[in-house]
Each structure stands twice: as C-alpha cells, then as structure tokens.
Amino acid sequence: MKAPSECVNPPPVVKVANRGDTDRMSRARERDLMALQLRLRGDSWQRIADQMGFKCASQAYAVWKRAMDRTCREVADETRQLEVERLDALWRVMFAKAMTGSHQAVDRCLAIMDRRAKLLGLDAPARARIDVVDIGQLVDAVESLERENEAMEARIAARDDDVDVDREFALPWAEVDQAPDLSEPQLISATS
C-alpha cells in the first residue's frame, strides 16, 4: 500500500514521559483505533485526516500504519505467549516421565526446549562472515589477470620456433602412462 504524499509534516507524536501516564496512551490508542476503523470502512486518507483533525493525508496514513504495526505486534506477542504456555504444559508432563528414566521422554524434553528457545529467540544468532567486494577491486583483479595473460602470451610468442613448447610447459610426468591415477582419493604423507 502506497503512503499518501500530500505533505511532509509528521503526524502528532504521543510521547509518554513515564509508564504512569495512561490517559495519553489511552487517547493514542483511541486515535489509532479510529484510524483503523475509518480506513476499514473505506475512507480515503484525506477524509480520515479531515475527520481526525490532521493537516494532511500523510499524517492519517502514518497513524494508521503505526496502529497496524502495533496491532500485528500485539497479536504476534499473544500468539507467542499461547505457544509458550502450551510448550510449558507439555514440558511438565514429559519432564516427569524423563525423570523416571524414559529415554523417549528425554528426547521430547530436548525437542520442547529447542522449540521454546527458537520461539523466544534465546539461541545465540548464527555467525556469518560476509565479505563485501568493491566493484573497483573486482575490476582491478580482472585487469591484473589480463595483464598476466598478455605477458605470458608475449613470452611464448617471443620464443624461437625451435623451442618445444610442449616440453617447456610439460607436466612433471613425461608420458600419459606415467600420470598418477586420480580416480581414487590418495593420501599424501607430509614426510614424503
């Protein structure tokens, strides 16, 4: 959904100095609820702004957006709390069985603990290494390789025709029959 852009003034922000100021919070929630209801009934952003006393449509949109975010967050929090309570109930039953020596119950307890930790975000985040390569660095590397390739081609072209290029750039074994068998993995000793 695209936000209206008729003005750049932000909507009035309700700042709560302390948690005891429930009147302000209540008025903000009422205003948020009103914006949700007006939009739900199909009113335009400008009409909502006019009815709510805002200067422009973008203020109405901002209040509606904040209300939507808060509502979704509250629903998610309530759902998460319900799931935690369910997991806790399962845990109590399985933990009692696990303490009697049931290996299956121990496995279930561990699975419940894992799910609970994921749900509540208790696990440490996985570490990832991200290398950022500047396009300039990439271009420089390609140009460097191209220069090396040109230099090697120039050295080869400068050699006399009687130079045996195959022998000059040959593999360490002389004949194909002497090439090592690479079809099976080989263990290489560090002492050899």
DSSP states of 90-105? HHHHHHHHHTTT-HHH
In this predicted structure, the answer to whether residue 183 has a pLDDT above a threshold of 70 is no
Q: Are residues 112 and 26 in the same domain?
A: yes
Cα distance between residue 14 and residue 8, in whole Å: 18
Q: Are residues 100 and 146 in the same domain?
A: no
* 67 falls within a domain: yes
| Per-residue model confidence (pLDDT) at position 48 | 92
In this predicted structure, the answer to whether residue 184 has a pLDDT above a threshold of 80 is no
* 110 falls within a domain: yes
Give the pTM.
0.42
Number of domains in the chain: 2
| Per-residue model confidence (pLDDT) at position 127 | 80
pLDDT in tens, 32-81: 889 888 988 888 999 999 999 999 999 999 998 888 888 888 888 888 89
pLDDT in tens, 109-167: 999 999 999 888 888 777 888 878 788 888 888 999 999 988 888 887 777 555 565 66
Q: Are residues 34 and 82 in the same domain?
A: yes
Cα distance between residue 6 and residue 63, in whole Å: 15
Place of tokens 């852009």: 5
In this predicted structure, the answer to whether residue 11 has a pLDDT above a threshold of 80 is no
pLDDT average, residue stretch 104-113: 95
| Per-residue model confidence (pLDDT) at position 73 | 84
Place of tokens 């003005």: 7
Q: Are residues 82 and 146 in the same domain?
A: no
CA torsion, ordered 114, 117, 122, 128, to nearest 10 deg? 50
Cα distance between residue 148 and residue 150, in whole Å: 5
Q: Are residues 116 and 27 in the same domain?
A: yes
Contact 161, 153 (CB under 8 A): no
Q: Are residues 116 and 142 in the same domain?
A: no
- Report the 10 Å Cβ neighbour count for 48: 24
Q: Are residues 62 and 94 in the same domain?
A: yes
Beta-carbon contacts of 156 under 8 Å, excluding residues fewer than 6 positions away, are: 165
* 181 falls within a domain: no
Amino acid at 32: D
Q: For the ranges 73-82, 96-105, 175-184, which has the lowest average pLDDT?
A: 175-184
In this predicted structure, the answer to whether residue 108 has a pLDDT above a threshold of 50 is yes
In this predicted structure, the answer to whether residue 16 has a pLDDT above a threshold of 60 is no
